[in-house]
Amino acid sequence: MPIRLTSLLFILLILVFFALLLGVFSREVPAAIVKGRSMLPLLREGDIVFIIRCKPDEIKVGDIIVYKSKIEGKLIIHRVINILYSNGEYYYITKGDNNAIMDIGEFDRSLGINQKRVVGKVLSLGNYVFKIPYIGNLALMLRKS
């Protein structure tokens, strides 16, 4: 009995999903799972976003970046609202779209997020962010158990 096209697409989707999960848990971070509500309404908990590596001068105001938190090295996904350049390094002023204030507690030397802590920026084209909605909820549930 021949494999139907829908079955083949389903199998391919499952393979892509597991490849993304492996990437999220690996040391190299090609994708990240959104956790929390700080980027609502654009990003919701469980969305998977794709991260592209970039040079510090390629990050612009309005980009969404992924950076390592000072606390436990967790990844934070927030929007760049301003950029400072000091002593040969970039500092990004960031804020969650749904947050009232900037990420002041995460700033280095009160300047912003140092370029060394930035993992990359979220893949987007104009105002469209490439994401897979809600599928990351499975990985979040697995992390809790």
Tokens 């079955």 sit at which residue? Answer: 7
CA 131 to chain CA mean position, Å: 10
Give 35's contacts (C-beta < 8 A, 6+ positions apart). Answer: 45, 140
Q: Which residues contact 41 (CB under 8 A, 6 or more apart)?
A: 97, 98
Domain chopping of the chain, boundaries: 5-144
Residue 117: strand pairing partners: none
Give pLDDT tens digits for 90-144: 999 999 999 999 999 999 999 999 999 999 999 998 889 989 888 888 777 777 7
- Report DSSP letters for 6-64, one per residue: HHHHHHHHHHHHHHHHHHHHSSS-SEEE--SSTTTTTS-TT-EEEEE---GGG--TT-E
Q: What pLDDT sits at residue 25?
A: 53
Of 18-27, 74-83, 110-119, where does mean pLDDT reach its minimum? 18-27
Q: Is the pLDDT of residue 35 over 80?
A: yes
* CATH superfamily assigned to domain 5-144: Umud Fragment, subunit A (2.10.109.10)
More confident residue, 7 or 27: 7
**pLDDT of 26 over the 60 cut:** no
CA 145 to CA 51: how far, in whole Å? 26
pTM: 0.79
- Whether residue 1 has pLDDT greater than 50: no
Please state, in angstroms and rounded to a whole number, the distance separating the CA atoms of residues 64 and 97.
Answer: 10
Cα separation, 7 vs 23, in Å, equals 24
Q: Give the mean model confidence (pLDDT) for residues 67-84.
A: 95
pLDDT band at 30, cuts 50/70/90? confident
In DSSP terms, 85 is beta-bridged to 90
Would you say residue 88 has pLDDT above 90?
A: yes
